[in-house]
Amino acid sequence: MDMQVSFLDRLFDAGLLIETGVDGLYGRSGQFEDVIAAFERLIDRVGGADGAEAMRFPPGMNREFFETSGYMKSFPQLAGTVHSFCGSELDHMSLLKCMEVGEDWTKGQEATDIVLTPAACYPLYPTVARRGKLPKSGGLYDLQSYCFRHEPSKDPARQQLFRMREYVCMGTEQHVTDFRQRWMDRGVEMMTSVGLDVTIDVANDPFFGRAGKMLVNNQRDQNLKFELLIPITSTAKPTACMSFNYHQDAFGTKWGLYLEDGSTAHTACVGFGLERIALALFHTHGLDVKAWPESVRAVLWG
């Protein structure tokens, strides 16, 4: 019998991830967080001189913006909404009775104005649109958020609540595609500097249903999405630790993002999967950070 202990179990045993009883929902130890903080400082050093405007949104977003984004058309299977009890005292009594006898007590919950953020950049577009036209030099933004995706898994690299650090660029086609290429080069350099084994490949999102197949083909044919892959749970199937997305003028049109000359802005975003990068480091260099190669420790902690 195969008695191999999974990477997830080893992370639990080492205390780096903390079990909650739900697949993909984990606590993180101080050590795990320290690795993420160190990697984020590396991101700051690499991207800092670009002068991006930093914004931090909470992990929930305005439901109206979520609806406008079209997320439910493409990824209904991944979305998470926030529902609350909004009933009377009588409703409360029947809710408690339901809980007592182990029946479904969530049926009467009502949708709130908040939806869990599916990607760090989602709250940004309506925020920038509200400001009016973008300056000639375009826009560059630095974001970080916990994101929710309903994709429970035993793979520690596929979590339901995880953090995404993103840079988002708005401007002309040339401007934003240059931005994306610059971060693809930087991403490879950064990962190599911390001893990680990287490849870059064209990618696609898991658009839902039969209609989604067309979107998948379009995304791949037009090279709209690239991923930087690093082995975590499998060497044969390495994990996407960064994504590089070119949206053409789709978000510009959807949200009304205009450049000074009145043309519709093109947009691109690059995302770092912070938990995945930490996991790639632990997988590659071992669970004991003190035993990591000196060169790697020097890049992360100086």
Instruction: Give, to the nearest 10 degrees, the angle between helix 294-301 and helix 30-47.
Output: 70
Q: Does 269 bind Zn ion (CB under 5 A)?
A: yes
Q: Say if residues 85 and 108 touch (Cβ distance below 8 Å).
A: yes
Question: Which residue number, 95 or 145, has a Cβ lying nearer to ligand ATP?
Answer: 145
Spatial strand order in the sheet of 239-246: 53-55, 139-148, 161-171, 266-273, 239-246, 225-230, 199-202
Q: Does 270 bind Zn ion (CB under 5 A)?
A: no
Site string for ligand ATP, 247-286 (x = CB under 6 A): ------------------------x-x-xx----------
Site string for ligand ATP, 220-239 (x = CB under 6 A): -------x------------
User: Which tokens hold the place of 271?
Assistant: 């995302």
d(CA 12, CA 93) in angstroms, rounded, equals: 39
Task: List the one residue from 74, 145, 159, 233 that touches ligand ATP (CB under 6 A).
Answer: 159
Residues 237-266 that bind Zn ion (CB under 5 A): none
Sequence-distant (6+) residues with CB within 8 A of 184 are 200, 226, 228, 244, 270
Please state the closest distance from residue 271 (CB atom) to Zn ion, in A. 5
d(CA 58, CA 116) in angstroms, rounded, equals: 9
HSE, CB side, 13 Å, CA atoms: give it for residue 73: 8
Task: List the one residue from 241, 268, 289, 300 that touches ligand ATP (CB under 6 A).
Answer: 241
Please state the closest distance from residue 129 (CB atom) to ligand ATP, in A. 22
Q: Which of 124, 126, 120 is nearest to 64 (CA)?
A: 126
Residues 198-217 that bind ligand ATP (CB under 6 A): 205
Residue 19: φ, ψ to 5° = -65, 145
Identify what 269 binds: Zn ion, ligand ATP, none; CB under 5 to 8 Å per kind. Answer: Zn ion
Task: List the one residue from 149, 180, 247, 283 that touches ligand ATP (CB under 6 A).
Answer: 149
Q: Which stretch binds ligand ATP (CB under 6 A): 128-136, 213-221, 241-249, 289-297?
A: 241-249
Q: Say if residues 192 and 184 touch (Cβ distance below 8 Å).
A: no
Please state the closest distance from residue 153 (CB atom) to ligand ATP, in A. 7
Q: Say if residues 164 and 274 touch (Cβ distance below 8 Å).
A: yes
Q: Does 162 bind ligand ATP (CB under 6 A)?
A: yes
Distances (CA, A) of 14 to 17, 20, 147: 8, 15, 25
Q: Which stretch binds ligand ATP (CB under 6 A): 31-39, 49-57, 158-166, 167-175?
A: 158-166
Residues 105-134 that bind ligand ATP (CB under 6 A): 119
Please state the closest distance from residue 144 (CB atom) to Zn ion, in A. 12
One-letter-per-residue 3-state SS of 46-115: HHHHHCCEEECCCCEEEHHHHHHHCHHHHCCCCCCEEEECCCCHHHHHHHHHHHHCCCCCCCCCEEEEEE
Please state the closest distance from residue 256 (CB atom) to ligand ATP, in A. 24
Termini Cα distance of the chain = 45
Identify what 275 binds: ligand ATP, Zn ion, none; CB under 5 to 8 Å per kind. Answer: ligand ATP
Q: What is the dihedral sign for C-alpha 125, 127, 133, 138?
A: negative
Q: Which stretch binds ligand ATP (CB under 6 A): 50-58, 100-108, 149-157, 176-184?
A: 149-157
Enumerate binding residues for Zn ion (CB under 5 A). 119, 121, 269
Enumerate binding residues for ligand ATP (CB under 6 A). 119, 149, 151, 157-159, 162, 164, 205, 227, 240-243, 271, 273, 275-276
